[in-house]
Amino acid sequence: MEATNSHIEFVPPKKTASIAIQVLLVVNLLIPVYKGFFDIAYSKIVLVGLSITFFFLCVWYLRESFSWTDFIIGIVLVTGLLYYRFVTQKEHGSLLNGTRFLVLGFSLAILFKYAIIPRRTFFIYTILALLPFLYFFLLKGVRLDGTGYLCAINRNSIPLRLIIASSLQVMNDSLQKRKYIIMFPSVLTLMCAYFSNSRAGLLKAMILVGVVLITNIWNKWQVWIKENKGKALIVTALFIFIAIVGGSFIIKDTRLVTIGFKDPARMKIVVEFFEQLTFRNFLFGFHPTLPFDLKSHSSYQTMLTYFGVFAFVIYYAIVVALIHYMKHSFTLFGLLGIWCVYSLVESLGPMSNGDLLLIPLLMVAFYQKGKEFFSNKKKPIQVIRGWLVNRPVKQQ
């Protein structure tokens, strides 16, 4: 059920990420969470500095594995960042925020590709990320409604951040072929999504728990399921019935039921977006003028406004990755599927939190497919070493 890399001959042996990398990873991912609860001076500069430090540390640590494909993807990401900041968005885009998300997403991708990240690293991260929310929701009895803010965090941002956190933990366990994926970070994320009163967040958190649960059941009982297909179908039908009843009980008093999926404000944003989508804007990207100066609530629209027609390269990569995971890994297919569905109603990326999950999922998918361009060529570090060693010496 999980993907294998056995057909890729150029895969280098993986080594465990260093303690410094693990610590910097947790710090980089946690500060944005706690920034919503505490004032952190010069937070944007601090976060960019930490993310760039983390990037260089990862590249240096994995220098023997770092490939030309990674180098080219890095150049593409930087080009996309500059195009977003200085062409399509100009005064509206943040170079610091964009740099942080792309650098962290790329660094996570090469770590997942070439290194082993100990299970405890993401376990510590998810627990520490969940802790302040559990404190407010369970101990303080907070239930968001009205303005929908917890300290400085919007109700929709709460499940978004926690679902990304839990998904990274699930992805790490899946890539390491764990027989059992730790469930309770996903369950606690579902609990926080429930108290946050976010409709899309609650639905996606429920799907995440379902993906992890199904993976764990399959990993433990796949032999029995294959040998007893009739009984397995009955158990599956019973499980689906219980899930529907239980899910209905969970959401009965939430905004998902009281308001439903209708959202006139977001529909107005979609209408305004397409009214401004001229042929030129479609080709080169643009900054839409939306009601109440809001941002687009869809990753797909956001990509189109940032990059124009080149956004279809990302759409294509997502489709290819989905097909690959559908064949090889139900878990990673589920994670990417959650990102894709969530992106219909929220702008998860680019230049946002969703990059931390999307970039690793795409790069790992193409790596597993054997799409490492220049795989038989010398690594970048070998070329640099050769240049330094063989460069001509000036005659005195």
The secondary structure of residue 223, as a DSSP letter, is H
Threshold 0.85, pTM exceeds: yes
User: Residue 162 domain-assigned?
Assistant: yes
Count the helix, strand and coil residues of the chain and give each as a percent rounded to the nearest 5. 70, 0, 30
Structural domain that includes position 348: 15-384
User: Residue 303 domain-assigned?
Assistant: yes
User: Residue 117 domain-assigned?
Assistant: yes
DSSP 119-148: HHHHHHHHHHHHHHHHIIIIIS-----TT-
Question: How many of the other CB atoms lie within 10 Å of CB of 383?
Answer: 13
User: Domain tally for the chain?
Assistant: 1
User: Residue 10 domain-assigned?
Assistant: no
Extract the tokens encoding 377.
């060529």
State whether residue 159 is helix, strand or coil.
helix
Q: Closest by alpha carbon to 78, among 98, 58, 97?
A: 98
User: Residue 140 domain-assigned?
Assistant: yes
Q: Which residues contact 67 (CB under 8 A, 6 or more apart)?
A: 372, 374, 375, 379, 380
At residue 115, what are phi and psi to the nearest 5 degrees? -130, 165
User: Residue 396 domain-assigned?
Assistant: no
User: Residue 6 domain-assigned?
Assistant: no
CA angle at 226 for the pair 221 and 232, rounded to the nearest 5°: 70
Q: Which residues contact 361 (CB under 8 A, 6 or more apart)?
A: 171, 321, 325, 332, 335, 336, 339
At residue 154, what are phi and psi to the nearest 5 degrees? -65, 150
- Which residues of the chain fall short of a pLDDT of 50? 2-12, 396
* Rounded-to-integer distance, Cα 11 and Cα 87, Å: 38
Identify each DSSP E strand in the chain by its residue range.
15-16, 115-116, 149-150, 153-154
User: Residue 394 domain-assigned?
Assistant: no
pLDDT tens digit string along 330-357?
A: 999 999 999 999 998 888 889 999 999 9
Quick one: pLDDT at residue 134? 92
